[in-house]
Amino acid sequence: MTDIPSRLALPERSRKLKLLLILDTVASLLLIPLALFWGMMSAMSTTTTSDADFANTYVLINMTLPVAMLVCLIGGWIAFALRREKSAWVIIFLPLPWLVASIAMMANWPAT
């Protein structure tokens, strides 16, 4: 009598996604303070080039990276709790464009 009809049963959560969320949580707790430090120190880069727009964009990307990491971590767990697995997979990896953009800008830094 307490059996849930199969059409009302919730799908089982992905173990792989849960493991990735746990690893992401641990990595984020370790990397968010480092990303914040990187963002604060990137403000000094504005004195190394005459292209102020490029330097300010670089600083903005690096200052928002820790926020993006935290928001995406929380969003990933919320999507997992709501059983939106595809959304959780996407949300987990959303901070990567920030990191790629920052490294690409660092590699193409304009000389003075």
Q: Give pLDDT tens digits for 45-94.
A: 888 888 889 999 999 999 999 999 999 999 999 999 999 999 999 999 99
Q: Give pLDDT tens digits for 11-30.
A: 788 899 999 999 999 999 99
Whether pTM > 0.85 for this model: the answer is no
Of 53, 51, 69, 62, the C-alpha closest to 102 is 62
> Is residue 112 very low, low, confident or very high in pLDDT (cuts 50, 70, 90)?
low
The tokens of 22 are what?
């746990």
The tokens of 57 are what?
């964009």
* Residues with Cβ within 8 Å of residue 94, at least 6 apart in sequence: 68, 72, 75
Q: Give pLDDT tens digits for 40-57.
A: 999 898 888 888 899 999
d(CA 58, CA 43): 9
- Identify the residue whose tokens are 């600083």: 59
